[in-house]
């Protein structure tokens, strides 16, 4: 049933694999962002972060020296498991409360806030975009069907797209792409595509995503690899060309966003003696 819904045959073309393309460290992040999980950029001076589940219901602006320059409390929102950030072409920001490690949640939601760069106070109102996966019938499903966690969110053509984080046992490498309207309501997520990029549990789970300003490149982040998708049509991302970049690290990379057409920003959580950094990488 579930797989019959996927009408697109998996047709990925691996263009090249760039080994050990090093990330450039921009700065250490402050301790308040030890568990940073989402990043979004409006310009080349500041970025905004959120932290994942159990942390404050806030969004943090930092500069490129690792200093927090603004903090906004998100009204009407609760950080159950905030996992990614994205923005639309009007500057609205979307906070993905989409983490679902055990596949038990029935309260998945994306919070929409106005452009935080323009907020003059210390609080900002949120609008709820609720959704559910129609293929999920049990909460949780059997271990082999643990497909309904997500840490990756991006915006394209009035829709919000989620890329799932596969937690199935045994791991089969599949990541599903769903979309929902970027409007207030309770939406049935539409399954539009599937990726099956690789089979290694440690490096193939998708932890963040973003799409370029001109919507020609989609990037998917994992723990140590970056998948750059191009030459796709509509929602058929998996039919495009995919370049695999080995980042040469095993850090807990959790966030990615486009700074400009060719430059990405990435960040990782603190894990032992490493992490809690902001990085850049040039796709050229």
**What are the chain's domains?**
3-282 (2.120.10)
Rounded to 5 degrees, what angle do the CA atoms 126, 94, 183 make?
Answer: 75
pLDDT (tens digit per residue) in 163-210? 999 999 999 999 999 999 999 999 999 999 999 988 888 889 999 999
Question: What is the sign, positive or negative, of the torsion defined by CA atoms of 97, 95, 235, 260?
Answer: negative
pLDDT (tens digit per residue) in 111-162? 999 999 999 999 999 999 999 999 999 999 999 999 999 999 999 999 999 9
What is the side-by-side order of every strand in the sheet holding 36-41? Answer: 36-41, 46-51, 58-63, 68-75, 123-125
Q: What is the pLDDT of residue 20?
A: 53
Q: What is the pLDDT of residue 17?
A: 52
Which strand (E) or helix (H) includes residue 267?
strand 263-268
Whole-number Å distance between alpha carbons of 50 and 56: 9
Greater confidence, 16 or 101? 101
pLDDT (tens digit per residue) in 74-92? 999 999 999 999 999 999 9
Task: State the distance between the two ends of the chain, measured CA to CA, in whole angstroms.
Answer: 41
Which residues have C-beta within 8 Å of that of residue 11, sequence separation ≥ 6?
A: 238, 239
pLDDT at 2 over 70: no
The answer, as to whether pTM is greater than 0.85, is: yes
Rounded to 5 degrees, what angle do the CA atoms 261, 11, 159 make?
Answer: 50
Q: What is the pLDDT of residue 284?
A: 87
* DSSP 3-state of 207: coil
């Amino acid at each position: 049933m579930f797989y019959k819904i996927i009408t697109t045959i998996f047709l990925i073309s691996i263009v090249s694999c760039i080994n050990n393309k090093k990330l450039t460290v921009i700065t250490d992040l402050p301790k308040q962002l030890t568990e940073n999980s989402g990043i979004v950029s409006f310009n080349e001076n500041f970025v905004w972060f959120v932290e994942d589940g159990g942390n404050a219901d806030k969004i943090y602006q930092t500069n490129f020296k690792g200093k927090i320059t603004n903090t906004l409390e998100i009204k009407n929102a609760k950080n159950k498991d905030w996992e990614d950030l994205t923005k639309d072409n009007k500057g609205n920001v979307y906070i993905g409360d989409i983490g679902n490690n055990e596949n038990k949640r029935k309260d998945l939601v994306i919070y929409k806030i106005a452009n935080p760069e323009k907020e003059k106070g210390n609080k900002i109102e949120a609008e709820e975009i609720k959704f559910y996966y129609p293929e999920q019938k049990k909460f949780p499903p059997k271990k082999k069907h643990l497909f309904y966690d997500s840490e990756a969110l991006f915006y394209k053509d009035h829709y919000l797209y989620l890329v799932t984080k596969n937690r199935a046992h045994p791991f089969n490498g599949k990541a599903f792409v769903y979309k929902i309207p970027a409007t207030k309501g309770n939406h049935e997520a539409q399954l539009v595509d599937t990726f099956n990029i690789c089979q290694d549990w440690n490096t193939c789970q998708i932890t963040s995503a973003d799409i370029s300003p001109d919507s020609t490149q989609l990037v998917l982040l994992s723990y140590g690899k970056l998948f750059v998708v191009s030459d796709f049509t509509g929602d058929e991302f998996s039919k495009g060309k995919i370049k695999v970049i080995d980042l040469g690290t095993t850090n807990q990379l959790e966030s990615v966003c486009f700074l400009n057409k060719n430059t990405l920003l990435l960040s990782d959580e603190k894990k032992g003696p490493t992490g809690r950094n902001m990085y850049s990488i040039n796709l050229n």
